[in-house]
Structure 1
Amino acid sequence: MGDILGFIFIIPLYGVLIWSFFYPKESLLWGKRWMYQEDPEISAGAIRYIKVASLITVIGMTLAFIIFILT
């Protein structure tokens, strides 16, 4: 029962991480657009960081969840 409940709670986090991977500019500005009159210029390094962090987190969460299920 706990495994299924944990999986249900992790699904939205996966969604946010996948969205951050495919749309890093939007995810970086989410909730902060009101501070700017125009969209700010986001560096390539920041975009790369968001993509890498999202990918590593998805892989890490998947491995942790698989290990949790198997034990």
Structure 2
Amino acid sequence: MLFIFIVFSIPVYGFSIWSLYEPEDSFFFLDRWRYKEIPELSDIQIKLIRIGSIVIMIVWTILLISAAIDAFTPDPPLPGIQVMSR
């Protein structure tokens, strides 16, 4: 499970960092073909994109830490078998 989170972390962090520094390019990612002229984003949209990318990185880090804690926490010992003697 931890390995899967680490593998999926690479594109999540990559896209989040990219949208933090280039919010307009990340907003129109794979949608640029729809427009003849690319519309401009307002300042509020740009701030929301940046805040969203920061929130995604924080939440993903919390998930990654909880998966690591779960992966490295030892399992409790199994209960012993009690033999009934007559």
TM-score by length of 2: 0.73
Matched, 1:48 2:47: yes
Q: 1:4 offset after TM fit, Å?
A: 2.1
Question: Aligned equivalents of 1:67 and 1:33: distance in 2?
Answer: 37
Q: State the partner residue of 1:36.
A: 35
Question: Aligned equivalents of 2:8 and 2:59: distance in 1?
Answer: 16
Runs of 4+ in structure 1 deviating by more than 4 angstroms, as ranges, are none
Q: State the partner residue of 1:27.
A: 26
Question: Aligned equivalents of 1:57 and 1:68: distance in 2?
Answer: 16
Q: 1:52 offset after TM fit, Å?
A: 0.1
Q: 1:6 offset after TM fit, Å?
A: 2.1
Gaps of 5+ in 1: none
* Aligned partner letter, 1:69: A
Q: State the partner residue of 1:62.
A: 61
Equivalent residue of 1:57, what SS?
A: helix
Q: State the partner residue of 2:13.
A: 14
* Aligned partner letter, 2:40: E
Q: State the partner residue of 2:73.
A: none
Bigger CA radius of gyration: 2
Alignment RMSD (CA, Å): 1.2
Higher relative helix content? 1
Question: Aligned equivalents of 2:67 and 2:31: distance in 1?
Answer: 36
| Overall identity of the aligned pairs, in % | 33
TM-score by length of 1: 0.86
* Aligned partner letter, 2:11: P
